[in-house]
A and B are shown apart, each in its own frame.
Chain A
Amino acid sequence: MSAYSVTEPSKLSKWVAGALVVAYTVITLLPLVWIISTGFKTGPDSISYPPKVLFSPSIEGYVNLFTDRTRATPEQLATMPPPDNFVDEIVQRRGEVVTGPSRFGERFLNSVIIGFGSTALSIFLGTLAAYAFSRFKVPLKDDLLFFILSTRMMPPIAVAIPIFLMYRQLGLSDTHLGMILLYTGVNISLAVWLLKGFIDEIPREYEEAALIDGYTRFQAFRKVVLPQAATGIASTAIFCLIFAWNEYAFAVLLTSGNAQTAPPFIPTIIGVGGQDWPAVAAGATLFLLPVMIFTILLRKHLLRGITFGAVRK
């Protein structure tokens, strides 16, 4: 590259652009910082006015998130053994006793099971279909691909009614299997489209060489194509996982207790006189953290994933 290029922006314009973008970033990240910091505030600190920027950190929110507690009378407290762990200490200081674990852990686990289960199934089916669409003459290929994409246009509530009726008949409502199948049905369009793009980029010559060497189609697929597509498969998997992780509409309509994931649960965390904001923030933080990490890991494939591969960087 030459030392001077007419298309290179001037120093000043770079400086101004940088400053403006940094300003936007700070403002846009403020709500996120506020969520995370509220998780480490005490109840009174979280609702003080003016909002507290400086506060002494506390893990009360996390204790509240993971435990169910009841109020104890002073007499009861006097007969209690001295607290032997920090959770009891925090709770007893407020005149409460722990009655058991809250349902947050269970909900979080449901999110993990349903998220990973549907991701694994979407990737398995999606890779097979994507390979077929990429390499073979499938009859009505374009129509089938468009049909797969169009399933994303339906409002979730529109299909939720019959799925609700169907699941009731089949005994799938409020089960992990039912939710895994449902999220796979929603995710598979993304998986097929993204993976087809990744497989299209692998030169056909590799497989042809393998076929000449005496491999069968299956062997060529398994030993040549799959390793080449590994990064594409991994990033597709993360996008499927993020979708299943964040989904709310189906979860709230089709599950009630057994298979409910965290998104419908977090808004229901109630304290004295309304929502327990430090606990809500603690739950939100734990729930957002994996997605934030994935986003940073995924930044190279981000654009493809969110646009079904329609735009490439």
Chain B
Amino acid sequence: MIDNAALVEELRQKFNYIEVNEQSTVIVPKDKLLEFMQALKDDYALDFLTNLTAVDYIDENKFEVIYNINSTAKGYTLMVKTSVDRDNPELPSVFPIWGGANWQEREVYDLLGIVFTGHPNLKRILLDYDYEGHPLRKDFQWKGGRE
């Protein structure tokens, strides 16, 4: 029923710009992201964007953005990753493809400061609008805590 390996193999054959690591995670370059995602939704029935998050790798000076996509009809799951430069964190939004990215991208913007271009309403969601800094970055400093 669920055959993720076959799916990943098929994707590797079809798209020559992707890389696949040993955990079957697909790594896509940033500029091909939208094109690849659109193909996933249209041709492979991956219609359910479960999870969207990002990790700050400060030593390598990059953010990694992670997309977990499921198929409600066929039961596939797929993890897609892309990297974005830490000095200029800009990435196209996948909101036009999956509406589920709406609040998740806002959360990533809020906590990590990655700007998703093309998002209709990209502003802070959890913290105050005038909050300074992005807490989940590794170099975030804060006051407070125990006395």
> A and B: partners?
no
Question: Could you list which residues of chain B lie within 8 angstroms of chain A, going by C-beta atoms?
Answer: none
